[in-house]
Structure 1
Amino acid sequence: MAIYEYNSHNPHGGGFEGLRVVVSCCRSGIHQRYFNFRHRGKRVTPSREKAMRREAKAIDKEWRQQQAREQKGRRDEARPNRNADSPTSTGVGGIRMTFTVTRKHRAGRNVHYYAPAFVVHGSNDNRVFTRTIRVRRGEVMAGWAQAVRFYCEQKGIEGAGFRRLLRRRPPVARFEVVRQDMNKRLGHKIPKEKVPQ
């Protein structure tokens, strides 16, 4: 990625005089744009040449930022799940399975309500994000899609990357493993009927 200047010191094979902005992006290929310092056989005015240089720098900066976003998105897609052995792992780093626990005081006693959920957690540009998406009865795919959509929005993952993560939905039976783990390790009493079907 660079701005190349063609002139008498650095001649272009076709006789072109001006600037060439080139950036190679991962997904969208090579972007390039030419700024010609000659118009109808005459050299453009110094003020017009200065404006072209400013525009070339602005385009180069914009394309470099796009390239950085695409590379970061690819890194986030390929990032291995460090907690793959965890019972709450979905296989996608940043999204895990759990049961939300709501405690309420009813008729003089504490009552616990449990609901299956996906928790999306991570950071982007030194900004932490977390969202819990509850899974309604029989709507595991919808809950997964919502979790992946939020994760991709936060990480700047689009198109094929989004679809690839969407296909990596963990099996619904995995919620049973999460239920057993939370009951054993954390002392909850999550009933079996709370596991989505």
Structure 2
Amino acid sequence: MGLGAIGKAVARRLAAFDVPIAYHGRSRQADVGYDYYDTPVALAAACDVLIAIVPGGQGTQHLVDAAVLEALGAQGVFINVARGSVVDQDALIAALQQGTILAAGLDVYEDEPNVPVSLRALPNTVLLPHHRLGVQSGRARLWAGWWSTICANGSRPAARSPPSRRRPTRAEPGHRRTSAGAPVKSARSVSVVRL
């Protein structure tokens, strides 16, 4: 859902792996060759994985509702990297609990950084803090809020600084290595989460 600058960047990356791309937006874009669907429900019915990459605001409030999740189906996966307001969070929790959809990956929430206990308790979700802020002070506030939210007993873990963007050199401790002990050659790593 959504094919703005970020949506197009995600689509290019997925297309490199021969993933079929379809989209829904306010209007059809003449300069793209992807399949276009007039409604979010029609798009959800046509895909296995629905990724929300739309701006927040009144026009997209609860754009992903119970009807969209129902159309996505029992083998469908919903990923929200847009805004928490884009999805009806109660409908999403119900869909995950009842098996209406298979799983969800979220890094935004309606009451961010507060994540509902009912959402955290679900085994078919991957939940991350939203990485919307690129400045160190913003990341520190975000991580502090996230840590306080995920602590079930209300206590905070030992003070931690937010992760650094600087990567360790090969000579430094903490340099990534493969399972065989050899250094990882790429500058970036990929995490795979099995649902």
TM-score range, shorter chain: under 0.3
Larger Rg: 1
Tell me the TM-score normalized by structure 1: 0.23
Tell me the TM-score normalized by structure 2: 0.23
Higher relative helix content: 1
Higher relative contact order (CA 8 A, sep 6+): 1
Higher relative strand content: 1
